[in-house]
Amino acid sequence: MKTHYFALPILALAMTSGMAAELSPASRTEINALLNRLASSGCQFNRNGSWYNPVDARTHLARKLDYLIEKKQVENTEQFIDLAASASSSSGKNYQVRCGTQPAVASGVWLKGELQALRAGK
């Protein structure tokens, strides 16, 4: 009997890609805290070429989070940032955050920095 070794990785991928991700209550709380930081930051949020106030940005990202939770595609805060809060799922354009007179930065970078501060208790 001839073994097809190339089929094993494909089978493994098929098995794992069908597994649903679950967001823990602790991660949901952490993401909500991160989104609240954004909402109260006073920073502007660029999405598809337009700037939005931080409260509107929070609302938009919360909707994207709800979608990922419904589809069971997010397990933790870092995944949320990477899958929902870094780029537009429709255009693929990166989101940006601009605080005061500082230059705009990639939203993923800004959010990961805020996540580190949040975890450090700052």
pTM for this prediction: 0.81
CB 97 within 8 A of CB 45: yes
> pLDDT value at position 48?
96
Distance from the Cα of residue 101 to its chain's centroid: 25
Which of 9, 43, 55 minimizes the C-alpha distance to 111? 43
Task: Kindly list the domain boundaries of the chain, sorted by start residue.
Answer: 21-119
E strand map for the chain: 44-47, 50-52, 96-98, 105-106
What is the identity of the amino acid at 82?
Answer: D
**How many Cα atoms are found within 13 Å in the side-chain-facing hemisphere of 91?**
11
pLDDT at residue 97 tops 80: yes
pLDDT in tens, 34-93: 999 999 999 999 999 999 999 999 999 999 999 999 999 999 999 999 999 999 999 999
